[in-house]
Structure formats: structure tokens, C-alpha cells
Amino acid sequence: MTFEHEVHRVRIFSRDEIGRALSAAGFAFSMRRSYGSYRLLPGDVAVVAERQ
């Protein structure tokens, strides 16, 4: 099967929206500006979450 046209929809969430959703779902979390030694692009954030 081949595709001639693909559509990818992306929704951008604010850090506050992500934090509220994770807290409401019962997660403890931290947001970081890097992933290991890799510094993320401006505006990007890595989220480390653990179910409480």
C-alpha cells in the first residue's frame, strides 16, 4: 500500500496545560530543558512523569 498524501495533525500544549493534565491523572512530574546531555530546542520541554 502506498500513500500519495499524508496528513499529520499536531497540537501544541502549554507547559501549564501539560502540568494540569498530568496532576489530574495522578502523576508526579518534572519538566526539563534537556534530554540527557542533549539540550532541547527553544520552546521544547522534556517531561519525566511517575504515577503516584
pLDDT at 9 over 90: yes
pLDDT at 37 over 80: yes
- Residue 2: pLDDT band with limits 50, 70, 90: confident
CA 26, 49, 14, 7 torsion: positive or negative?
negative
**pLDDT tens track for 38-49:** 999 999 999 999
**Residue 4: per-residue pLDDT:** 86
**pLDDT tens track for 17-27:** 999 999 999 99
Q: Are the C-beta atoms of 50 and 29 separated by less than 8 Å? A: yes
Q: Are the C-beta atoms of 42 and 15 separated by less than 8 Å? A: no
Separation CA 48–CA 27 (nearest Å): 10
**Residue 41: per-residue pLDDT:** 96
Ranges of each domain in the chain? 15-51
Residue in the structure block whose three cell numbers are 539540550: 39
Show the cell assigned to 49. Answer: 512523569
pTM for the whole structure: 0.74
